[in-house]
Amino acid sequence: MQRFEAYLEANLPNVETFHPHYNDALAAMLLAGGKRFRPMLLLSVVEAYEPLLFDGALAPALALEFLHTYSLIHDDLPAMDDAPLRRGFETLHVTYDDATAILAGDALNTEAFYHISKAALRDDIKIKLVELLARDGGTYGMVLGQSIDLHFENTPLTLEQVKVLHKNKTAKLIATSLLMGAVIVGLNKEKQDALYAFGIDLGLLFQIQDDIIDETHTEEEAGKTTGNDGDKNSFINLIGLERTVEEAETLAKHLEEEFSKFDDVLQNGLKKIVNKYLYRHR
C-alpha cells in the first residue's frame, strides 16, 4: 500500500497552465484517500506470482484508481446522486462547480489509459489491459450499471435485476482488477476465468455491504453521504436490512469456499485483502 501511495503522489496530473485550480481539482479526490481496493487486488495478484513485475504493474493499478475516482466524481454530481461528501471531503462540484467536476472526471478517465500506455510492460499485455478496463469500466459494465440505476429510480426492480445492476455498476470493475493482475503475470485462461468469477461475487458483496453501511452508519463514520438511497434500487429498499445482512453472510461464506479452491500462492497473496473486506458488514 505504501509503495502504491508513493507512486500515486508522484504521478498526479501536473499540467503547466494558467488555470487557477485545474491541477488541484484533478488531484483532490485522489489525495482524499480511499480504500484503494481495486489497485490492491491487481497488485496482490502480481506480487503473489511475479514480484519482479510489481513496479511495472503500478501504472495499471493507478489507472484503476484514476478510473474509479472519476466515476465517484461523476456519481456525486447533482444530475446523478447529488452528494456533498466523499472520502470525508467536499465533493468537487461543491468545492468548485459542476463544470469543474465534470471535466476533472473526464480527465481522470482518459488519464487512466494514458498510464497503461506508458507502463513498463509488453505491448500485447498493455493492449489487453486497455481492453479489459475499457470494457468493464465503460459501455459494457460500470456505465451501463449507473444508467440502469438512474433510469429506474422510483421504479422497483426484482432482486435479480438489482443484482444485474450492481454486477455492472460495481462488481465488474472489481473483477477486472483481479483479471488485469492475472493477465500481467500470464495466468492461464482457466485461472483467469476463476478469478474473474470470484471478483464478480466479491464485487456484489462489496455493494451489498455498502448498502448496509449506508443504512447503519453516519456520514462521519462512512466518510461519504449516507441515507441518500431513498429512491434507488438498493438491497435495503428492496428486501430490508435483515434480509440484506443475510444475503451478505451467504455470499461471504460462498466466497470463502471459492477462495479455498485457489492455489496456495494466490491464497497467500490475496488472503490479507480478502479477509479485510469479506465480513466488513458485521
All structural domains of the chain: 2-278 (1.10.600.10)
d(C-alpha 111, C-alpha 123), whole Å: 18
The average pLDDT across 61-88 equals 96
The average pLDDT across 132-148 equals 97
The average pLDDT across 54-72 equals 98
Instruction: Write out pLDDT tens, residues 226-244.
Output: 656 667 889 999 999 999 9
Query: Considering the chain, what percentage of its residues have pLDDT values greater than 70?
Result: 96
Instruction: Write out pLDDT tens, residues 167-201.
Output: 999 999 999 999 999 999 999 999 999 999 999 99
Q: Are 107 and 69 in contact (CB under 8 A)?
A: no
| pLDDT score of 223 more than 70 | no
The average pLDDT across 117-121 equals 97
Q: Among positive and negative, which fits the CA dihedral 215, 216, 219, 221?
A: negative
